[in-house]
Every structure is written in C-alpha cells, then in structure tokens.
Chains A and B, each alone.
Chain A
Amino acid sequence: MSAEKADVVRSLRAKGLDPVRLERELVSMLRSGSGAYEVRSYLKRLLEGGGR
C-alpha cells in the first residue's frame, strides 16, 4: 500500500498538486469546525480553478 501511495503522491505532484499539503489544509479546516460543504467548495476551487 505504501509503495502504491508513493506512486500516487508522485503522480499528483507531477500534475502540480501536493496531496500531503492538501491533507494538512483540509484536516485543519475540519478540525476548526468547517464541514463537508466548505471542504467541497475548497476542492472544487482547487480542481477547477487550476490553483494547484
């Protein structure tokens, strides 16, 4: 699983998106009281706006 995950991380970074940083940001949002709606809006902006 870990080797597969490393491949996924590499692929995502090659596409300009760091999943480790994204996880930190999303978990921090959820821990400070944001819900699924805010997470969805954040991900939509990230994926559609190209702000990776």
Chain B
Amino acid sequence: MSVVTVRLENVGVFRGVREFRLGRGLNLVYAPNASGKSSLIAGLKTVSTPALNGRELARALNDYEDRGSVSLRIGDEEYFVDLKRISQAEVEASGRRLSDDSVVRAVAFLDLENPIVNAVYAGDEAMLKRILRDVSGVAHIETIISVLEGLKAEYEHQYEVKSREYEARKSEVEEQLTHIEVELRRVDDRINEILKDSSIEPARREIERIEKEMKELEERVSKKRGEEIDLRNRLSDIEREEKLRKAELDLLNEKRSKLLAEKDMLSSKIVEYRRRVEELEAKIKSLKSERGDLENKRKELRVLLERRESVAPYDYCPYCGAKIDKESLHKDIDGIRAQISELNDRILALENEIRLMESEVSRLKREVEERLQEVEKELKDVNSRIEKLQRTLESYSRDKSSINRKLQEIESELKELEDKRELLMRQYDLFKDRVPLVEELRKLYEERFRLREIRDRLYGKLRQLDELYGDVVKLGETVSITGLLLEYFRARRVEVERVAVEKVNEAVARHFELLGLAELEYPVFAEGFELRLARKGGVATMLAELSDAEKAILAILLTLSLKEHVAGDFPLYIVDTLIEFIDDARAKEVLRYLMDFASRTDTVVIVTKTKPYTGEPRLLSQEDIIVNQVTI
C-alpha cells in the first residue's frame, strides 16, 4: 500500500503536475537519463530540508515557469513548499517542510550535490573531516565558541572604556571636592577667628545667635538641595527610558499598521476565496459521486466478466446446459474488458481531477485562511505588547508629574530659606558701625554659602557616578558570564567530538556488511574524525585510492551511520545515481542491505537507476519513470 505521495508541479524537467507514490521499504526508481529521476529527488529534497542553497532552489523550479510547488504526504501528514521565481537565478521557497533540520540534507539525500559524496569522490580527507564535524554538531559548537569569543572581546573592551570613564570622572569630581573642602575650611577658620576676636565683644551675643541660626539654615538648604539633585537625576533616568520605550512603541505601531492592512486585504478576499473553495468542494463531491457510480458499474461488469469467463472453457453451459457460441462469447468478453478498461481510464482521470482540486482547496486554505489566522495571532501579540508599553509609558508620565510636583515644592522651600537667610544677613547691618569686622564676616558667610552649594552639587554628581559604576559592575558580570560560557562550550566541543566519533564508529560497526563490501576494516575513524582506512588484513589505504564502487559504498555507509546518530527519526533515505557506480553483483548486495535497513528502521528508501537488473520480477517500461517496490 502506498504511504508516501509526492506531488510535483513545475519541478525540474516536469511542467504541470506529476504525482508519484512510494511505499515503506525500498523503492527503486527506474528511468533513462534526463527523464526526471533527479527532478523527483530535487522535489523531495525541497520539501524535506531547509538547507537548500539558491542554486539548488533555482534548479528545482522548471526553467520555463515562475511558480511551482511540491507537496509530500506521509500517512495523514502533509508537507508542502511553494516555489516562486524572484529573478533568473533566484527562487524563493516557503511552506511547511518535513524537517527543519539542515543536517538531513547531508545524511539522507545522497545525490551528486551531497557534500559527503563530493568529498569522498574528490578523495579529499580534510574536506570529509570538516563535513563530518559539521554534520555531527561539532562545527555548531565551534560557531557558538567563535561568537562567544567575539562577544567576550567586545564586552571586555566596553568594560575597560566604562571603567576608565568612571575612574576619570570620579577622580575629577573628588579633586574638585577636595579643593572645595579646603576652601570651606579656610572660610570656617577665618569665621572662627573673627568670632574669637575681642573687637566683636559689643555685639558678640547677637552675632553668635545669627551664626547659629545661619548654620542651621545652611544645613536645611543643603539637605533640600541634595533632595533636588536626586530628583533631577531620577527625572533624567525616566526621560531616557521613556525615549527608548517610545521608539519601541513607534516600531510596534508601524508593525500593527502593516498587519492591519494585510488583514483587511485578506478579509476582503476571503468571501471570494470561500466561494471558490465551496465551488471546488461541491465539484469534488460531485466527481466523487460520479466516481462511485463508475466504480459500481465496473464492479457489475467485473461480475459479468467473471461469469462469462467461468463458462468459456465449456462447450455447453454448466448451469443451463445450452450450447455455447464460443465466437459470440469471446466477443462478449472482449467487449466487457474494453468497457472495464474504459471505466478504469475514466476513474483514473476522475481521481486525478479530484486530487488536483483537493490540492487547490488546500492551497487556497493555506494562502488565505491560515495566513489570516497567523495575522490575527500576530496582531493579538503586537496589541498586547503595545498595551504593556503604553501602561509603562503612563507610569513614567505619572512618575514624572509626581517628581515635578516635588521639585516645585522643594524650589519654593529653597526660596523661603533663601529669604530667611537674606533677613539674617541684613541683621548684621545693625552692628557694622560698632564692629567693623562684621562686614568681613558677612562676606565670609556669602562665600561659605556659595562653596556649600558647589559641594552639594559635586556630591550629587558623585551619586550619579554611582549609577555609572552600577553599569560597570554589570558589564564586569557579563564579561565573567561570557567567560564561563566559553569554558563550558570549549569543554563541550571536546566531549561532543569524542562522543560523535564513538557513536559513528559504533554505527559503522553495525553496518559491517557494507564495510565488507567496500573491502575495508573497522574502525573507520580515529579521534577528531580523522579517517583511518585499512584494507582487509590491516593494510592502510587512503580515500583517494578507493575505486569508484568502493567510494559509493563508503558514502552510503557513512551517511547511514551518521543518519542513525543525528537524524534517526527522519523517514526518508535517498540514493540518487550513486548505485550506477557499483558493479551489478555488489550493487544487488547493497540494494538488499538497503531493503533490510528500510524494513528494520521503517524508513522509505529510494534508489534511482537508469535500468533494471536482469531477472527482476517486474515488467519495467523505459518510456517513463517507474517506481516499484522491488524484491531483488
């Protein structure tokens, strides 16, 4: 029973639609050169793996067509890829593929574009080693390591720059602070000196009271100024965050507009598409009913044919005893056979028509209904992110208003304190005639007030620098995590490579029959995927010294072993053309082995050949592609 159906439309040499049915087990695809065997394989590859390059995709689409498609049905699951020509050399592919793992390209599709096949035939052991490291996952770990190395260098550089910036700014502020403190000390010392001077005696009590009040006032001003600076720092942080979130919101709004436009476009089309789908489904129903009628008619004719054929050997009817007119009976039988054959053709044509319509229905659903669902899902996600961002922005706006209110309060409090200070200063005028030093004292208080203000602002700058220090610490932590990740992945590289070599060697051992057919000995790989080939008896050999047949067998052996290790669940294994390089006797052994492998692992194995081997039990036409499940 067929379990795999491949439908190609404008793929490779095929223009229009072609369909192939494959079964579990070994499928031999026979056809002369340039008949489309490789087009079938190219189609399968396109719908099975994401790793095709632009050249391969361009080759998959028929040269004279701008659109094509491949669909693959395995049991109840359907996979598809639509091909669209962008330019002469560029083809775009989209759809749902059988696997999203690029590694299946190398281990399950043995065609002349396969990198392992190419390396084996080029006799290039270094290239083969590189590919095996790629396929076994070692190269992926190496990619991660090189990305981490780049990131670590980048973070280390940023850390150094930020640290230097922090240190430079901090020492500059500290230097200014030291200078201000010295100045403040100088002013305080002079004030104390004046306060101890006997010339202020006539107004000492008043002056000391003013000095005490002035000190308290300055403390309060300084405290308020500190609060003001902190609030302004917080405000600028919020404004910075707000700017970033607004940019993010603009992007999301833009995305939402695009999605809404697409949704409108799809919604306007949906009525038309649904009508078309309904029409097609009605047609499919009517065709199926027509097919049912024809099948009933064929059944009746088959019963009639069976009856006619059952009396054909007799001269007299075994049921009624009447003499049989042989000539008329044979004419009758031929007529019924012709009618059955005609019915077969009509049923087949109907089935093809039904299949085409069904696939058109599924294409329409994919293009509109499913895309519409996707767009709605994306819109929902975008809307929820927009709502979240708007809530965040609203909270920023509330925070800003509250900070601005507090700042206004502080400003008015500061003004009030300033007025009080002015009043206190004016009180000195009462004694300036009696105590000449009071004028200097007043100037000193003015200077102290100004110096304290500068000192407060410098402390504010220092607190701002603490935030920069937080960034520096965070960067230092990122550098440390990146370093740890590098250590982890470097250790994993060694492990993955060792395990991969062991596993692949174990798999090679399980395929010892193929190893024997290639006249090679176990094991095949040393550490680091170094190829270690030895002929039977232990004589060392090299890849370049193997015959074409041995290379083909080795390529099959390697890919089967790697497939077990990295893509054991992938249901296809395909050998295109390669089997032609093996002499008939060994090729039959390889095919028998692949047949066992297919049944053992429940894999659909496909092998292409230009002609059948002599003595095969099927009649094979060379007019077209023949796909047969064959017993060798």
Interface residues of A (CB under 8 A from B): 1-2, 4-5, 8-9, 11-12, 15, 17, 19, 22-23, 26-27, 30-33, 35-36, 39-40, 43-44, 47-48
B476 to chain A, nearest CB (A): 12
Q: Which of A1, A27, A48 contacts B491 (CB 8 A)?
A: A1
Provide the residues of chain A in CB contact with B137, threshold 8 Å.
Answer: 27, 31
Contact, CB under 8 Å: A11 / B143 = no
- Residues 98-117 (chain B) with a chain A CB within 8 angstroms: 100-103
Contact present for A19 and B140 (CB under 8 Å): no
From known contacts A5-B491, A40-B151, infer whether A15 and B144 are also in contact, taking CB-CB under 8 Å: no
A31 and B485 within 8 A (CB) = no
CB distance from A27 to the nearest CB of B (A): 5
Q: Known contacts A8-B487, A39-B143, A47-B482: does B51 contact A33 (CB below 8 Å)?
A: yes
Name B482's closest neighbour in chain A (CB-CB).
A47
Residues of A within 8 A of B3 (CB): none
Contact B488 A43 (CB under 8 A): no
Say whether, besides A1-B494, A36-B143, A8 and B102 are in contact (CB < 8 Å).
Answer: no
- Contact status B147-A36, CB under 8 Å: yes
Distance of A12 from chain B, by nearest CB (Å): 5
Q: Which residues of B contact A27 (CB under 8 A)?
A: 137, 140-141, 144
Judge whether A5 and B147 touch: CB under 8 Å: no
With A26-B140, A33-B51 as contacts: A47 and B478 at CB distance below 8 Å: yes
Task: State A23–B482 Cα separation when bound (angstroms).
Answer: 14
Top 8 nearest A-B pairs by Cβ distance?
Answer: A5-B491, A32-B100, A30-B140, A19-B488, A33-B50, A31-B101, A40-B147, A8-B488
Residues in B lying within 8 Å of A, measured CB to CB: 50-51, 100-103, 137, 140-141, 143-144, 146-148, 150-151, 155, 477-478, 481-482, 484-485, 487-489, 491-492, 494-495
Of the candidates A23, A30, A39, which one forms a contact with B492 in the assembled complex, judged by CB atoms under 8 Å apart? A23
On whether the beta carbons of B491 and A8 are closer than 8 Å, the reply is yes
Question: A8 is contacted by which of B146, B150, B477, B484 (Cβ under 8 Å)?
Answer: B484
Residues of B within 8 A of A33 (CB): 50-51, 100, 102
State which of A12, A30, A43 has its C-beta within 8 Å of the C-beta of B484.
A12
Question: How many whole Å from A34's CB to the nearest CB in chain B?
Answer: 9
Q: How far is the CA of A35 from the CA of B51 in the complex (A)?
A: 12
Q: Contacting A31 at CB < 8 Å: which of B102, B482, B487? A: B102
Bound form: Cα–Cα A39–B478 in Å: 17
Given A27-B140, A47-B151: A32 and B484 interface contact (C-beta under 8 Å): no
Neighbour of B485 across the interface among A12, A32, A40, CB < 8 A = A12
Q: From A9, A39, A48, give the contact of B147 (CB < 8 A).
A: A39
Q: How far is the CA of A51 from the CA of B384 in the complex (A)?
A: 19
Known: A23-B144, A39-B147. 16 other contacts (CB 8 A): A5-B487, A8-B484, A8-B488, A8-B491, A22-B485, A26-B140, A31-B100, A31-B101, A32-B102, A33-B100, A33-B102, A36-B147, A39-B144, A44-B151, A47-B478, A47-B481
In angstroms, Cα B146 to Cα A47, docked, is 16
Candidate in B141, B147, B487, B495 with the most chain A CB atoms within 10 angstroms: B147
17 interchain pairs (CB within 8 A)?
Answer: A5-B487, A5-B492, A8-B491, A15-B477, A17-B485, A22-B485, A27-B140, A27-B144, A31-B101, A31-B103, A31-B137, A32-B50, A33-B50, A36-B146, A39-B143, A43-B147, A47-B151
Nearest A residue to B104, CB-CB: A31
Main secondary structure on chain A at its contact with chain B? helix
For B154, give the chain A residue with the smallest CB separation: A44
Distance in angstroms from B205 CB to nearest chain A CB is 62
A30 to B51, CA, bound (A): 11
Residues of B within 8 A of A8 (CB): 484, 487-488, 491
Would you call B103 and A26 a contact (CB within 8 A)? no
A1 to B498, CA, bound (A): 13
Q: Which residues of chain B come closer than 8 Å to A23, judged between CB atoms?
A: 141, 144, 488-489, 492
Contacts of B491 in A (CB 8 A): 1-2, 4-5, 8
Q: Distance (Å) between the CB of A33 and the closest chain B CB? A: 5
Q: State the CA gap A19–B488 with chains docked (Å).
A: 7
The closest CB in chain A to the CB of B99 belongs to A32
Kindly identify which residue among A12, A15, A30, A39 contacts B488, using a CB–CB cutoff of 8 Å.
Answer: A12
Q: Provide the residues of chain B in CB contact with A39, threshold 8 Å.
A: 143-144, 147
Q: How far is the CB of A41 from chain B (nearest CB, A)?
A: 10
Complex: chain B residue closest to A44, CB-CB: B151
Name which residue of chain B comes closest to A6, CB basis.
B491
Residues of B within 8 A of A31 (CB): 100-103, 137, 140
How far is the CB of B49 from the nearest CB of chain A, in Å?
Answer: 9
Do the beta carbons of B484 and A48 come within 8 Å of each other? no
A12 to B477 alpha-carbon distance, docked (Å): 11
Q: Which residues of B contact A15 (CB under 8 A)?
A: 477, 481, 484
Q: Which of A8, A11, A15, A22 has the most CB of B within 10 A?
A: A8
Inter-chain contacts of A44 with B (CB < 8 A): 151
